[in-house]
Structures are given as structure tokens and as C-alpha cells.
Amino acid sequence: MDEYIERLKDGSLKLYALEKELPPAEAVRVRRAFIEGETHTALTGVGSFSIDIDRVVKRNIENMIGTVQVPLGVAGPLRVKGEYATGSYYLPLATTEGALVASVNRGCSLITRAGGADVRIMRDGMTRAPVFAARDVGHAHGVAAWVDEHIEDIRRAAESTTKHGKFLDAATYVAGTSVYVRLEFDTKDAMGMNMVTIAGQKVGELIERETGARLIALSGNMCTDKKPAAINLVRGRGKTVVAGVRLTDAMIADLLKTDADTLAEANYRKNLVGSARAASLGFNAHAANVVAAMFIACGQDPAHVVEGSSAITTVDRVDGGVYVSVTLPSLPVGTVGGGTGIDTQRECLTMLGVAGGGDPPGTHAKAFAEIVAAGVLAGELSLLGALAAQHLARAHQEHGRG
């Protein structure tokens, strides 16, 4: 080991090149030892892990020195009545926020007692939006018109790059001499960003060749990926999922310790009016909490929590109770690819019965999206109930949270 550390110090060996000379596990060990020396920090905890190093250094990480472990809890059972997910589930939640799992667990109990959450996927499409430079406004208009008139040519170019993905649509947006083409794909059980990026490159080259517009960037931020954006809230990105449950007055009183009118008013003044006054893109209590915890546990891209947080929670007063629902317009999820194959994350997906590809393709990712939406509904119900009953601070104190 000393020889490699000396070479790293004198610059004759780069950190990223260790795997070219050593087996992955040894390369990680040497790199960690070098960083320990450089930073004067013992990384004993970081160096203790159980995942398959050979896989992750090839597919998931560069310059690996170990892992950061996040506590994993479960909430449930949660009854889900979806088109793809039907049954009772224990939700794996990876978080360091005390009281979160307990809160979601209470929501799960309430939903299950009510007979389960109705969940439906309204639409499904992953996007990539290349941007082109036109010569002038007239040329920009012509580029947009060409796209509209040659959808089948675009389809053939896009689908020539993948055996799994299916091209769905192309929408154009013009700003001066900039032309954005928002491409949408059905990516089956993959979250699909790699798939749509490769297909987008092929389409971009086609449009550039046929229209004379210059392809400036494969992503022009109209996708919109990993950033808060109204276009995702309106048009959707990934899975657009809605989950709802009907609660009786007795259930609200027994488990949430409040009443239907107070619950509805808390949602109206907090989630709807408060969010509007803040010009928020999310009209919910804490959807991001559940999305983040399930994403981390199940190998999703945590950066997509920003899209998943753009959720809308509604409470409708009905005879004898309320109907509570959450709408997640932009939930990018997958059960193959990315971090879903890492040992611990795959175990969490297996808990839910959605690991790997579904039969037919796409059904596992859709089932997972339905489960996540039902979990968000559980979290919203519990926090709204705590706020309506003035129990939030007490709950955090009881769980020892400062």
C-alpha cells in the first residue's frame, strides 16, 4: 500500500487510476488510506460496508473511498389499491430525521384502517429537451414547424437507439432565436435519463441536419431535470401519480385527534393559501420527506426529490368525513439501472416486490410509483393531523428531537 500512497502524493498516480492497477476493493482501501493521511481523519466507519464494490465502482461512483450509511426504518403495513400495486406494504425509509418514520407509520395505520389508498398513474413520460440556435425568428418558426411535421422521422431516429424505450411526443418552445424541443419517452422500468439522453442526441443531430439550426446543448433546461420548474408541475415528468383516501369523522377523531373541518381548514390555509402566498411550486405539507427517504432506500436519484416535492395535497369535505388526496405530477422512478442494483437498495425494492424488470416491462416502475404516492399520502395525513390538533411540537419532544 505504501508504494501506491507515495505515488499518489508525488502525482505520478491519480486517484481515479487506482482501479487500473488494483482490484476494486484494494483500490478503495488505498484511496481511503491516502485521504485519511491527507485530511488527518480516521475513516473507520466509512470503510465498513457490505455492498458489492466490483459493481458500484463500474456503474455508480468514481474515486470511491467507502460508504455513508443512512439509518433505515420501516412504516406500515400500508394498504395500497392501485392498478399496478395492490396489497399491504412495509415502506423502507432511509432518513436521519427523527420522528419521520413514526409520523408516516401513523398515516399508514389510518389509510389501512380506511380500507387502503386509491392510486392511479395519470401519465408516464421521461423528457429531454435539446436547445437549438436559429438564424432569426423566421428560421426559429420554421424549425418548430419542421418538428411538428416530422414526428415519425423523429420517432424512428429516437427508437433506433434503444430496444426498450418508446418515443411518445415532441413539443416545441421558442424564445427569440432559441428553439427547445421537449422529447418525451416511455422508458419502461428504467427511470430513463440515460436512455432519453442517448435518443435525444440522435434526434438533435437529425433536426440540426434537416433544418440548419445549430444544436447548442443536449439539455436546454426545458426538460426540466433536477430543478424546480412549473413545466413539470403542469405537463408532468416521469410518473404523474394521484393517491387518495376517504376518512370518516370517527377515524379522524380517533387517530388524528381532530375533526374534519379543522383538518380541511389546516390544509387550505397551510398547503394551499400559504404555498400560494410564498409562490411555492409545491402545495403540500412535507411530500419531499417521504420521497427522499424512499428514494435513498430504493436506489433512486436523490436529486429528483426536487421534482417529487412539487406535489399538491387536497382535502375535500364529504358526507361523514373527508377525502384526502395527493397529486405528484413529476415522479421520476425506476426499478432497473442506476442505484437500484446496489445490494442494500435492491433488498428494499425486493421488500416491495418491485426489484428488477416487470412482466410486462414497465409494471414494476409503475407499481413502485404507486407505492411512493401512497406513502406520501400517509405522510401528509399524519403531519396535517398533528398540525390541526396542535400536536407537532409535542410529537417532536416525545421522540427526543431538538
Q: What is the pLDDT of residues 145-186, one digit of tens each?
A: 999 999 999 999 999 999 889 999 999 999 999 999 999 999
Handedness of CA 183, 187, 192, 196 (dihedral sign): negative
Measure Cα distances from 155 to 83, 129, 166, 227, 359 in Å. 28, 15, 8, 27, 24
Residue 280 has which C-alpha cell?
A: 411555492
CATH code assigned at 302: 3.90.770.10
pLDDT score of 395 more than 60: no
Contact, 342 vs 55, CB < 8 A? yes
Q: Would you state the pLDDT for residue 402?
A: 47
Q: What is the mean pLDDT of the chain?
A: 96
Please give the average per-residue pLDDT across 74-81, as a whole number.
98
Measured from the Cβ of residue 118, the count of other Cβ atoms closer than 10 Å reads: 19
In this structure, the answer to whether residues 257 and 321 fall within a common structural domain is yes
Considering 187, 217, 247, which residue would you say is the last residue of a domain? Answer: 217
Please determine, for residue 275, whether its predicted confidence score (pLDDT) is greater than 50: yes
239 shares a domain with 139: no
CATH of the domain at 169: 3.30.70.420
For residue range 42-54, what is the model confidence (pLDDT) as tens digits?
A: 999 999 999 999 9
117 plus 36 within the same structural domain? no
Mean pLDDT of 235-248: 98
pLDDT mean over 283-299: 98
Active-site annotation, residues: 97, 301, 396
What is the average pLDDT across 181-195?
97
In a shared domain, residues 140 and 281: no
Measured torsion, CA atoms of residues 187, 193, 194, 199, in degrees rounded to the nearest 10:
70
pLDDT in tens, 293-345: 999 999 999 999 999 999 999 999 999 999 999 999 999 999 999 999 999 99
Q: What is the distance between the alpha carbons of residues 242 and 225, in angstroms, rounded to a whole number?
A: 21
The DSSP secondary-structure symbol of 324 reads E
In the predicted structure, residue 396 carries a pLDDT above the cut 90: no
For residue range 92-129, list pLDDT tens digits in order.
999 999 999 999 999 999 999 999 999 999 999 999 99
110 and 258 inside one domain = yes
Q: What span, in angstroms and rounded, lies between the C-alpha atoms of 279 and 145? A: 34
259 and 331 assigned to the same domain: yes
| Tens digits of residue pLDDT in 51-69 | 999 999 999 999 999 999 9
Domain membership of residue 375 as a residue range:
72-124+233-398
**Domain match, 365 and 297 both:** yes
Q: How far is CA 256 from CA 134, 137, 252, 259, 266, in A?
A: 58, 58, 5, 8, 13
Where a domain ends, among 156, 187, 217? 217
Give the domain-ending residue among 217, 250, 281. Answer: 217
Q: How many domains does the chain have?
A: 3
Q: Does residue 141 share a domain with residue 262?
A: no
**For residue 1, what pLDDT band results from cuts at 50, 70 and 90?**
confident
- Output the pLDDT for position 392: 60
* Helices within 309-362 (DSSP H only): 343-351
pLDDT tens string 255-268 = 999 999 999 999 99
